[in-house]
Chains A and B, each alone.
Chain A
Amino acid sequence: MRRAAFITVVLLVAFASKGDSQTFGTKKRSPKPDEYGTVVMSNHAANVDSDPVVFPHWLHRAKYTCRLCHVDLGFAMTANETGVTEKDNLNGLYCGACHNGAIAFGPEETVTDGEAVQYCDRCHSKGNDVDLKYEFYDFVKDFPRARFGNRVDWMKAEDQGLIQLEDFIEGISIKRAQLMIPEDRTITPRVEGMPNIIFSHEKHTVWNGCELCHPQIFGIRKRAQIYDMQEIFEGKFCGACHGQVAFPNTDCRLCHTDDVY
């Protein structure tokens, strides 16, 4: 009898102290404008005694469409999923398609006095203080402002001609048929009272094409497959881009534009 009571008390105490994880209920640190969209790639780096790669999306998205890297060059949509190796780069795949010394800096360059300068550290820069060619705040100082993410309205910047995005690499990209753009559609949120979302295919296909989203992110919607905002915040569906690189999901007003009364 006493033993049973003792066990009960122990269990009660154990149960009461459950949930001691400190990561819930507090606001996470928001990334700074120049940090937003930065992806750390550390697939093989540890194996080859090299620092992980720190990839800044902001600089690349100011020059190229999403489709060019994520469809034509075959980059995956999640960090470390592509499996880029040094050999691939030297063969002109992935990063090496541009980082070959011709379009952008390559792995090494022979300077005037015949010496070969290695540029490994410019990418394999995790934990190191590297002098980069472009400084974020200088680069974006005249760009139209946004409230979240990089704090830059990239779409407006393109409309105003401040950035011109390349969509074609010779020998890799293909000439495509004319894009058939479906109409805008209204998505009703699951929570009553939240304004409706107006989804524009046009705005997305201009940067992504079709095969980037369909069907790997948005497949056939079977009858029951209705996604919710929690999944989006966790990186699924819209959250595959919005929250990682494109304007984050916390900018509710940019999607939930159609007020309901």
Chain B
Amino acid sequence: MRRLVGVACFVIAVALGSLCAPVHADEWTHLLKLIREIQSRSESPPLERALDPSASLPWGAIKDRFDRICGKVPAAPDLADEQLRALIADCDFLSKVLEQSENPQAKVFLKRIKMCRDFFVYSLELREAPAG
């Protein structure tokens, strides 16, 4: 008897639940799409930090990453604090990769990534500095 009552309550609860929140199949896919879009819009790709800096990257890949990081410099004053910190971390990572690289151009890119990093740090500190 008690088991019957329990099952009946469960069925009523599910029915009520589906009535109040009618999440159909296509709405689930819509929600999932939205979540993926938000993830892809995130400015700092987490992929960089997952790699081991001592792993030798082809020069083209290094250059692509460099372009993506330093290309943000002009927009830095408008980026959020977390985004700037993520960029600084990316600069540190790429610096280590460049130090390992044997490409003759690496020494100039090392200097350039340092300039980008310094500017991101400067942008962050400017917000914390007293107005003047």
The answer on A and B forming one complex is yes
Q: Which residues of A are in contact with B by a Cβ distance under 8 Å?
A: 71-74, 87-88, 91-94, 174-180, 182, 209-211, 214-216, 219-223
Q: Output the nearest chain A residue to B64 by Cβ-Cβ distance.
A: A174
Contacts A88-B104, A93-B107, A221-B129 supplied; 19 other A-B pairs, CB < 8 Å? A73-B108, A74-B108, A92-B104, A92-B105, A94-B108, A176-B71, A177-B71, A178-B74, A180-B74, A180-B77, A180-B78, A210-B73, A210-B74, A211-B73, A214-B122, A215-B119, A215-B122, A219-B122, A222-B129
Contact of B73 (CB < 8 Å), options: A74, A176, A219, A221: A176
Count chain B residues whose beta carbon lies closer than 8 angstroms to a beta carbon of A.
Answer: 28
**Which of B's residues lie within 8 Å of A, judged by CB?**
66-67, 70-78, 104-105, 107-108, 111-112, 115-116, 118-119, 121-122, 125-126, 129-130, 132
In chain A, what residue has the closest Cβ to B117?
A211
Query: Assuming the A-B contacts A211-B116, A211-B119, are A74 and B129 also in contact, with contact meaning beta carbons closer than 8 angstroms in the complex?
Result: no
B68's nearest neighbour on chain A, judged by CB, is A174
B contact patch SS: helix
Partner of B115, one of A71, A87, A221, A222: A71
CB neighbours of B66 from chain A (8 A): 174
Least Cβ–Cβ distance between A55 and chain B, in angstroms: 18
Taking a contact as CB atoms under 8 Å apart, the answer to whether A214 and B119 are in contact is yes
**In the assembly, what is the distance between CA of A178 and CA of B116, in Å?**
16
C-alpha spacing A176/B74, complex, angstroms: 7
Closest CB-CB distance, A251 to chain B, in whole Å?
Answer: 27
By the criterion CB–CB under 8 Å, are A74 and B74 in contact?
no
Nearest chain B residue, comparing its CB with the CB of A177: B75
Q: A93-B108, A180-B77 are in contact. Are A211 and B132 (CB under 8 A)?
A: no
- Verify A220–B126 contact, CB threshold 8 A: yes
Give the nearest-CB partner of A181 in chain B.
Answer: B74
Residue of B nearest to A179 (CB): B74
A-B contact pairs, 9 of them (CB 8 A): A87-B104, A91-B104, A94-B108, A175-B71, A176-B73, A177-B71, A182-B77, A209-B73, A220-B126
Given known A91-B104, A93-B104, A174-B71, contact A210–B76 (CB-CB < 8 A): yes
A-B residue pairs, 4 tightest by C-beta: A177-B75, A74-B108, A91-B104, A215-B122
Kindly state the separation between the CA atoms of A103 and B66 in the bound complex, as whole angstroms: 24
Choose among B75, B77, B122 the residue with the greatest number of A CB atoms under 10 Å from its CB.
Answer: B122
**Shortest Cβ gap from B81 to chain A (Å):** 16
- In the complex the two chains form, is A174's CB within 8 Å of B67's CB? yes
A23 to B59 alpha-carbon distance, docked (Å) = 53
Contact of A178 among B67, B75, B126, B129 (CB under 8 A): B75
Give chain B nearest CB distance to A47 CB in angstroms: 19
Chain A minimum-CB-distance residue to B103: A91
A71 touching B112, Cβ below 8 Å: yes
